[in-house]
Chain A
Amino acid sequence: MNVGTPEPLLSIRGLKVEFSTRHGKVTALDGIDLDLMPGETLGVVGESGCGKSITALATMGLIPDPPGRIAGGHVLFDGEDITRADPRRLRSLRGADISMIFQEPMTSLNPVFTAGDQIAEAIMLHQSAGKAEADRMAVELLRTVGIPEPERRSRSYPHELSGGMRQRVMIAMAISCRPRILIADEPTTALDVTVQAQIFDLMRDIQRQFSVAIMLITHDMGAIAEMADRVAVMYAGRIVEKGTADEILDHPLHPYTRGLIGCIPVLGKEAGEEGRMPPLAEIPGIVPPLHLLGRGCAFADRCPLAFDRCRAESPALEGGAHKVACFAAEMEAA
């Protein structure tokens, strides 16, 4: 992991995505800036509905249009703007250079084809391999992702595999063409805790073996602590805090980030120790519907530190390496 390599592999600049809904036009992403360095793991964290998955889809050029639309900004992959690429170019990028694994391994595999067939399909889309060759490669990939008896498993249908194994098959499919970026959208949310740990181990192995950069999208700060090198915290379509994983986890600045960290259950810790809140903290309220966002900070209504200014104007993301968008945090620092 060579964090700090000057040239980012993926660079998202001022990305703005709008959706037309029954309530009129809403801004799902409002000026997102993100960099993904080669070989690193970037954690994108936030609650449901804050724009994490939209960021992932925009990176793949998969924003459903209509109703979605990229209203501004750029997504630069290796210097090439994905938001302006034509469909043919996008298809050749997808799977080959940037690939994605999904939240629900139950539904992200096609039920009528065998695991091996689906991996072979992905291979044949981007490589000049015949069916037999692709089948052989599929079995090898299943072996790589730690599926026992890969020859036999390649002939299994998705419903015959456990959740963990299906996610392994998805990973095998995603890495089949040696992509440089792997976007993992809540890859372990639907899995048991023990299986989660195995999938994270596998992702780390894959990262080392194929030197792939991972964008890990999650709502789970525990997953961030385990996997991420750098972290971006999102709220209501904006990045509210950005920094290295250590900075964010040990010195969270934004009250929202603090709330998310308070949601991690800690084993063997007495309540009150290290100033941790008793049993398990929760953030009151929900992410506001995007069409109801006012002028102020989107988090103000749920924020314990909010004051007048927070409701009147929206804070910008400011700071050096560890950036935060919060007036209260600014005052604290000053």
Chain B
Amino acid sequence: MGVADPAAIATPEAISPLREAWTVYRRNVPAVFGTLLLVAIILFVLYGTFIYKGDPYEIVWAPQTPPGTEATVPLGTDNLGRDILRGLLKGGGPTLAVGAAAAIITLVIGISLGGVAGYFGGWIDDLLMRVTEFFQVLPALLFAMVVITLFSPSTITTAIAIGVVLWPQTARLTRAEFLKIRELEYVTAARSIGARNGRIMWKVILPNALPPLIVSATLTVGVAILFQAGLSFLGLDDPNTMSWGLMIGTNRQYILDAWWPVTFPGIAIFLTVFAVSLVGDGLNDAFNPKLRER
């Protein structure tokens, strides 16, 4: 403000808020490290099987061969004599897919319910928030177990079960953002040019509410992967789909005889969740205007 002649000020070329956030993100060393690590893990999972070929279910060597003892099985074998590296490569896909799918389910349910509740307020808000609370107070693991037991275990069931227990958090976050943004003048301005409720909710408010939701979604991916590992550990995952959690689950009773069949998939899960968290934190810093002031 305070410019007498609008022609007199020269501003640089338009920078969108997203590009500004990217500029901040790029300078955040842990976030860049996390991104590279995540990309490396995804490439490893997507293309590793083309380089290191073989069936992960095939028994290739003596059971519980320690890593580094046989050149053909660099990471050793599990309790049945199956190649652990093959398992890691094959099991990564379902693990990452469940994480991503659960995060997407969480976002879709959470944003829809939270957005409607926050925008309309009143009895709609009360009703939807009671529903949300109902899901929130359910013991998450128990509820997911029931869902998986009812509908036979598969990657899709697992993703749905995890999404269903994790969405209330996203719904509450979305509701809070909508409650805050709907009072802002540009929302009244949008209404004053004749925009419909749907348009105001999804085209005016949602883009402004997105930054914290993106951050929360990244963190949800990490939580979902851990959750799936927990379910597999309890033997509630699809036994016919190789996943990191399943590898830990099937080998857990032999952990005192052989540490490697459990440790390598554990490290894989740790690195993935770690990378995703770094990305989430980086996004949080990039979108948070208070931290952005330097």
A→B interface (CB under 8 Å): 60, 62, 66, 90-96, 99-100, 102-104, 107-114, 121-122, 125-126, 146-148, 152, 155-157, 160-165, 168, 170, 173-174, 176, 190-192, 194-195
Contacts and interface: CB of A to CB of B under 8 A. Distances in A.
A109 B189 contact: yes
Contacts of B194: 90-96, 125-126
Contact of A62 (B4, B16, B186, B188): B188
B204 to A, nearest CB: 6
A111 B195 contact: no
The 6 closest A-B pairs by CB, nearest first: A95-B193, A94-B194, A95-B194, A163-B1, A148-B7, A108-B185
Contacts of B193: 94-95, 99, 121-122, 125, 173-174, 176
A160 B192 contact: no
A195 B16 CA distance: 26
B207 A112 contact: yes
B208 interface: yes
Contacts of A155: 14
B248 to A, nearest CB: 43
Nearest to A148: B7
A102 B188 contact: yes
Nearest to B12: A160
B124 interface: no
Given A62-B192, A99-B192, A192-B1, A109 B14 contact: no
A94 B191 contact: yes
Contacts of A165: 6
B51 to A, nearest CB: 43
Given A114-B14, A192-B4, 12 more contacts: A92-B194, A100-B189, A108-B188, A111-B186, A121-B193, A148-B7, A156-B14, A157-B15, A157-B16, A162-B3, A164-B1, A165-B6
Contacts of B190: 110
A107 B185 contact: yes
Given A91-B194, A125-B194, A192-B1, A102 B208 contact: no
A94 B4 contact: no
B126 to A, nearest CB: 13
Contacts of B207: 110, 112-113
A321 to B, nearest CB: 32
B71 interface: no
Contacts of B192: 60, 62, 94-95, 99-100
Interface string B195-213: 1100000011001100000
A182 B195 CA distance: 17
B193 to A, nearest CB: 4
19 contacts: A90-B194, A94-B191, A95-B193, A95-B194, A99-B192, A107-B184, A108-B188, A110-B190, A111-B17, A113-B207, A114-B16, A125-B194, A146-B6, A148-B6, A152-B14, A162-B1, A162-B2, A176-B193, A195-B1
Nearest to B3: A162
Contacts of B6: 146-148, 162, 164-165, 168
Nearest to B6: A165
A109 B208 CA distance: 12
Contacts of A108: 185-186, 188-189
Contacts of A113: 207
Contacts of A112: 17, 207-208
B290 to A, nearest CB: 15
A332 B21 CA distance: 66
Contacts of A157: 14-17
Contact of A195 (B3, B7, B17, B189): B3
B69 interface: no
Contacts of A121: 193, 195, 203
Contact of B195 (A91, A114, A176, A192): A91
A305 to B, nearest CB: 38
B240 interface: no
B43 interface: no
B247 to A, nearest CB: 44
Interface in B198-244: 203-204, 207-208
Nearest to B193: A95
Interface string B1-42: 111101101010011110000000000000000000000000
Contacts of B1: 162-164, 190-192, 195
Contacts of A163: 1-2
Interface string B169-197: 00000000000000011101111111110
A194 B4 CA distance: 6
Nearest to A161: B11
Nearest to A56: B192
A85 B9 CA distance: 45
A162 B2 CA distance: 8
A161 B1 CA distance: 9
Contacts of B7: 148
Nearest to B204: A110
Contacts of B139: none
A232 B281 CA distance: 55
B68 interface: no
Contact of B11 (A156, A174, A194): A156
A123 B11 CA distance: 26
Contact of B3 (A99, A147, A164): A164
